[in-house]
């Protein structure tokens, strides 16, 4: 797996500049707070936000109870989760499917599944996680899952597309905050 990405876009980094959300809080408590519940499996941090918050978790292919877990990389950063949710709620999944080459997205699903499945013991018997990013077999279902994998270093065109849309959203918000210029 390649190294995690460290986007240095000014607007992206500025998202985290004035946040005071880490302090002395242990990482496991930050993760529980971000999820709203204790995790159901072992995890580690695959990507850290610029302010030191655990942004993306990497999960094993199974929950602790043996249930298959198709989502290997999980976006838990609440700031990014909300922004990606805004993109999704404004037709982002449909737009990503329209904008991106279907074969490139299909190839990303294959790479994601391979990266997840290599963690399954060869002698495993029973249900297995299926599909690619977030369990999807074709197209795009969840921008959060694609973006998480992209931030963690995955070769994911949907994740890159999502990052570009996130930067556009931040630019629009910045322009809206500046307001119109008026002559006096």
Tens of pLDDT, residue by residue, the chain (184 residues):
667 888 888 888 888 888 888 888 899 999 999 999 999 999 999 999 999 999 999 999 999 999 999 899 999 999 999 999 999 999 999 999 999 999 999 999 999 999 999 999 999 999 999 999 989 988 999 999 999 999 999 999 999 999 999 999 998 887 777 654 434 3
Task: Report the side by side order of strands in the sheet with 73-75.
Answer: 44-48, 54-58, 73-75
Q: Which pTM was predicted?
A: 0.91
Angle, helices 78-89/157-178, rounded to nearest 10 degrees: 90
Q: Which of 5, 175, 173 is nearest to 83 (CA)?
A: 173
Q: What is the DSSP-derived secondary structure letter of residue 62?
A: B
Q: What is the number of alpha carbons within 13 Å of residue 135 lying toward its C-beta? A: 9
Q: Please report, for the chain, the start and end positions of each structural domain, with discontinuous segments joined by +.
A: 10-168
Say which DSSP state 44 is in. E
């Amino acid at each position: 797996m390649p190294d995690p990405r460290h986007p240095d876009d000014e607007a992206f980094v500025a998202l985290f500049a004035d946040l005071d959300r880490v302090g002395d809080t242990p990482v496991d408590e930050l993760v529980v707070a971000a999820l709203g519940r204790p995790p159901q499996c072992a995890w580690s941090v695959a990507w850290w936000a610029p302010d030191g918050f655990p942004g993306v978790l990497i999960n094993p292919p199974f929950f602790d109870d043996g249930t298959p877990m198709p989502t290997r990389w999980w976006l838990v950063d609440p700031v990014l989760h909300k922004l990606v949710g805004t993109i999704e709620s404004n037709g982002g999944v449909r737009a990503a499917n329209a904008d991106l080459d279907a074969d490139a997205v299909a190839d990303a699903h294959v790479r994601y599944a391979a990266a997840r499945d290599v963690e399954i013991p060869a002698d495993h018997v029973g249900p297995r996680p299926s599909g690619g990013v977030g369990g999807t077999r074709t197209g795009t279902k969840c921008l959060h899952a694609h973006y998480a994998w992209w931030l963690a270093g995955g070769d994911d065109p949907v994740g890159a597309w999502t990052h570009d849309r996130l930067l556009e959203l931040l630019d629009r918000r910045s322009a809206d905050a500046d307001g119109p210029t008026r002559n006096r």
